[in-house]
Amino acid sequence: MTEHRWVEDEASFRAVLDELAGVDVYAVDTEFHRERTYYPQVALVQLAWADQIVLVDPLAVSLQPFAEILEGDGLAVMHAAAQDLEVLEQACGAIPRRLFDTQLAAGFAGHGTPSLTNLAEKSLGIRLPKGDRLTDWLSRPLNRDQRSYAADDVAYLVELYRLLVKQLESDQRLAWAEEECEMLRTRVFGQRDPADAWLRIKEARHLRGRAAAIARALAAWREQRAMDTDQPVRFVLADLGVVGIAQRAPRTVDQLRAVRGVDGRHLRGTQAAEILEVVAQAHDEPPPRARVSDTMELDRQLRPAVTLVSAWLSQLSREQRIETSLLGTRSDIEAFLAHDPDARLAHGWRHDLVGEPVRRLVEGEAALAFDGRGGLVLEPRAGRA
């Protein structure tokens, strides 16, 4: 069993925070559930630094004081941190002021997007035990295996951080990884704006006119109700129901009940009346204005370039030993070719490595050709260099 301290009282937690206050680098992870709630329910916080591993029970102590550590000078090392950042912001009201994500960094070091288990085995030769994916982390007491598994999630993160930094410095890619970690850290977490909820429903984004206005209003109502009742949005109303109601604009409960994706559990209490009121109010509202990214249609002449550049990008990923999604996705290519000012390929290291060669290609200054070995080579065009 991985040695650790179990903290379940305020005094012990305060002592841990006092120790962490003087630490330059520490590891952090969380266990949480959100299957039946809107907000993530934090069930455990794991911390590691130097030779210390601590498991904090948030069911017994308030995590609010941990904010002073997160906002301090220490570097927080995490693995696949996106969801954990949301959990920490919800539980502590803060996220790390400095962050290093080992999964993100590993993508710049030829590891793809590895799980912590795979990264530890490849980099350290350590095989972490597999955990139970269905563990109920909110149950108490946690057994010996559960605690050991949780402790292993942070036990090797600081060591992995040091190895990755050394490799990335050697490859002159540390700044790229740090930039990506900062982009992740500063991504907007916390409470979503209900007005934007309809944009997360794929089918709703294609609606037009009155249907789009109803979908926007109904998705906003659904999001707010889910927040107020702390339940997943799908429990309030399924995506299919939102789209179906938007298309059919029912005026009565019977018409509402006939919409695909709507059933009795969605119409309990005052919910049916609320839905019909939302539909009625949105019926004559102007449709949502198209987002800038939606209006930037790619020139038809450049559409073949997307497939060509995607092939070259995949090859570049292999050559550079960088995860393809870190270099750029198909959507990134389309946004860049459409001159979207927020396109990832238009800024920073991606512009230098990918964006600028792509610009030369589409402007006729360079060409892609087979290299005779099954690969592609981007080279200056004769007389255009």
pLDDT by position in tens, the chain (length 385): 689 999 999 999 999 999 999 999 999 999 999 999 999 999 999 999 999 999 999 999 999 999 999 999 999 999 999 999 999 999 999 999 999 999 999 999 999 999 999 999 999 999 998 776 779 999 999 999 999 999 999 999 999 999 999 999 999 999 999 999 999 999 866 667 899 999 999 999 889 999 999 999 999 999 999 999 999 999 999 999 999 999 999 999 999 999 999 988 888 889 999 999 999 999 888 888 755 444 445 677 778 889 889 999 999 999 999 999 999 999 999 999 999 999 999 999 999 999 999 999 889 898 888 888 878 888 888 765 5
* Length of the chain as a residue count: 385
Q: Which CATH superfamily is domain 194-282 in?
A: HRDC domain (1.10.150.80)
* Bridge partners (DSSP) listed for residue 377: 369
Omega before residue 141 within 30° of 0, cis: yes
Domains in the chain: boundaries: 5-185, 194-282, 293-380
* Residue pLDDT, tens place only, 230-257: 999 999 999 999 999 999 999 999 999 9
Query: d(Cα 317, Cα 312) in Å, to the nearest integer?
Result: 9
Query: d(Cα 53, Cα 1) in Å, to the nearest integer?
Result: 12
Task: Identify the DSSP state of 11.
Answer: H
Q: Are 31 and 43 in contact (CB under 8 A)?
A: yes
Q: Which CATH number fits domain 293-380: 1.10.150.80, 1.10.730.10, 3.30.420.40, 1.10.287.3510?
A: 1.10.150.80
* Residue pLDDT, tens place only, 171-218: 999 999 999 999 999 986 666 789 999 999 999 988 999 999 999 999
Contacts of 210 (CB under 8 A, 6+ apart): 249, 282, 283, 287
Domains 194-282 and 293-380 share a fold: yes
So what's the pLDDT on residue 295?
A: 42
So what's the pLDDT on residue 288?
A: 83
- To the nearest 10°, the Cα dihedral for 264, 268, 271, 272? 50
Q: Are 63 and 56 in contact (CB under 8 A)?
A: yes
So what's the pLDDT on residue 292?
A: 43
- Residue 35 corresponds to which amino acid? E
Q: Are strands 366-370 and 41-49 parallel, antiparallel or unpaired?
A: unpaired
For tokens 């073949």, the residue is 304
Question: Domain spanning 5-185: which CATH class is it, in words?
Answer: alpha beta
Closest CA to 192 of 215, 242, 236, 226: 226
